[in-house]
Structure 1
Amino acid sequence: MGDWLFLCVAGVLAGAMNALAGGGSFVSLPALIGAGLPSVAANASSTVALYPGSAASLWVYRGGLRSVCGVPLPPTLAVTLLGGLVGALLLLWTPSSLFDGVLPWLLLVATLVLAFGRRLGPSLRARFRAGVGTVLGIQFLLGVYGGYFGGAVGLMMMATWSLLDDADVKALNPPRVLLVTAANTIAALCFAAFGAVWWAQAAVLGLGALAGGYVGAKLGRRLPPAAVRVATVLLAAAMTVRFFLRAYG
C-alpha cells in the first residue's frame, strides 16, 4: 500500500512540474526505480504514466499555441514525432548506462542556456538568424532526446528556443507542452508495443500525473513570466546537481 501511495503522490508532483516548466520525469523515474523497477522499464513506464498529465496540460494550453521561432507548428510537430520514434527505438536497443553518464552534461547545458539565454539571445540573433531548416533540425534532435530519455526535454526545448526567439518563457509554454506530448506519444506507443511497460505502476503514477498536470497548467497561466523563469532555472539547477551525483557520486 505504501508504494502505491508513494507513486500516486510522485505522479501529482511530476504532472504539476511538467505543466509549469518540465522535468517531471526527474520525480517519476526515481520513484519507479525506488518501487523496484529496472531502469529501462522505469524509464518506459514513466513516459507512459506521465502522458495523461501532459495531455491534460495541453488541453488547458490549447488557446495559446503559437509558432516556434517563426516556424509553423505542423512541420515542427512532424519532425518532433519522427525524432521521438528514433529516440524510443534507440532506448530499446541500448543499455541504460549510456544515458546515465551523458544526461548530467545535457542538463548542465540546458541550465546554463536557461540562466543566461536572455543575455546571449539578442547577441546571437544579431549575428545569426536561424532558418526553417535549422529550427526543424534542432527540433528533430530534441525529439530524439525526448523519445530516448525525455528528462527535462521541455526545459531543453525552452532553453534552445530562448536563444533563437525573443518570446518570454510563459508564451513558450503551450508549444512546449504540445511538442513534449508529441514525442511522448510516439515513444509510449513504442514502449507498449515492445512490452517495456510495467502497467500497474504506470497506472497509479499516471492517475496522480493527470491531476497534477491539470492543476499545474492552471497555475502556469496565472503566474507572471519572471516567476516561471526563476522557478524553471532553479528546478533545472537542482536536477542537474542531483543527476551529476547520481552518475558520478
Structure 2
Amino acid sequence: MDGTVWAGLVAGLLIAVVTAPAGVSGAVFLLPVQLSVFGVPSPAITPTNLLFNVVAGPGALWRYRRDGALRGGLARRLVAGTLPGVVLGAALRVFALPGPGVFRLLIAALLLPLGVWLCVRTLKPARGRSAPAGDPSPVALAALAVAVGVVGGIYGIGGGSLLGPVLAARGLPMTRVAPAALAATFATSVVGAGAYALLSLASVGDVAPDWWLGLACGMGGLVGGYIGARLQPRLPETGLRLLLGGLAAGLGILYVVQALV
C-alpha cells in the first residue's frame, strides 16, 4: 500500500475513536481531510465518504449491539426516513451541485451552524437551563429523517452527525441516541453508495468513489469505531460534545475562508 492508503487508514481510525461515542461515524470530519489533504476530486469525494461509512459502521454497531444499546424502535424510524432522502440527495449532488466551489460553501454552511449549535446546547444545562425532553412526534421525526437523508446524500455523511445533535438537544440520552444515529448512518450510506454507483453509469466526470482510499479509511474507522463505542461509558459527555462542536465550527470557518478567497 502506498503512503496515501496508510494515511487514510490512520485518519479513519483516529477520527472514529473520537466521534463514535457521540453517534457520529466520523465522515463529517473525514470529508475535509479527503478534500484538502488527499485531493479526492468532486463529486467523487461524496461516494468515497459513503464507502467509509459502509466499511467503518459495523465496528461501533457490533459493540453497541453486544451491549444491548440497539434495542427499541428509534433506529428503525430514522432509517425509514433517511433512505429515500439519501437517494434524492445523491441525484442532486451529481446533476445540480458538481462544482468544488459550491461544494466548499455547502460544507461550511453545514458545519459552522452545526458546531455552534452543538456547543450552545451542550453548555445551556450547565448554566441552569434544562434541555427539552422526550421523543419528537412521529411526523416531526419522519420529516427530520428525510431532510437529513437528503443532506447526507449531498454531503456524504450518512446523517448521523446531524441526527445526533438534534436528538440530544431533545433531551434523549447519548446511550440511546448514539446507536440509533450510527445505525441510520450505516443503512443510509449503503443505499447512498449504491445510488452513486448507478449514477456514475449515466453521468460524466469523477462520480465513482476512490475505492482504495475509501476502503482504507473505512478499515481504520472499523477499528476506531469499535474502540470508541467501548469507551463511551468512560468518556465525559459534555467534553466530548464540546470537542465535536468546536471541530465542526472550526472546519466550517476554514471552508468559508477558502471558498471566498
Deviations 1:107-155 (A, max 9, x none): 22212321222549x78859xx953212210121011111211349433
Pick closer, same or farther for the CA change 1:234–1:6 going to 2, 3 Å.
same
Name which of 31, 43, 47 aligns with 2:46. 43
Deviation at 1:29, TM superposition (A): 4.7
Count of residues in Structure 1 that have an aligned counterpart in Structure 2: 243
Name which of 95, 98, 101 aligns with 2:102. 98
1 or 2, which has the higher helix percentage? 1
Identity of aligned pairs, percent?
27
Unaligned runs of 5+ in 2: 201-207
Q: TM-score w.r.t. structure 2 length? A: 0.79
What is aligned with 1:79?
Answer: 81
Q: TM-score w.r.t. structure 1 length? A: 0.83
Name which of 184, 192, 212 aligns with 2:197. 192
Unaligned runs of 5+ in 1: none
- How many Å separate the matches in 2 of 1:231 and 1:124? 19
1:1-249 to structure 2, matched below 5 A, reads 1-21=2-22, 22=24, 23-31=26-34, 34-62=37-65, 63-65=68-70, 72-94=74-96, 95-96=98-99, 97-117=101-121, 119=124, 125=132, 130-151=136-157, 153-163=159-169, 165-195=170-200, 196-249=208-261
8 Å CA contact 2:86, 2:191 repeated in 1: yes
**Moved >6 Å (runs of 4+):** none
Deviation at 1:33, TM superposition (A): 5.5
8 Å CA contact 1:66, 1:175 repeated in 2: no
- How many Å separate the matches in 1 of 2:228 and 2:257? 28
- Cα RMSD (Å): 2.9
Pick closer, same or farther for the CA change 1:4–1:72 going to 2, 3 Å.
closer
Deviations 1:83-122 (A, max 9, x none): 11211222122214433213312222212321222549x7
8 Å CA contact 1:15, 1:212 repeated in 2: yes
Deviations 1:198-236 (A, max 9, x none): 222222222222222222222224313223323222332
Pick closer, same or farther for the CA change 1:242–1:153 going to 2, 3 Å.
farther
SS of the residue aligned with 1:61? helix
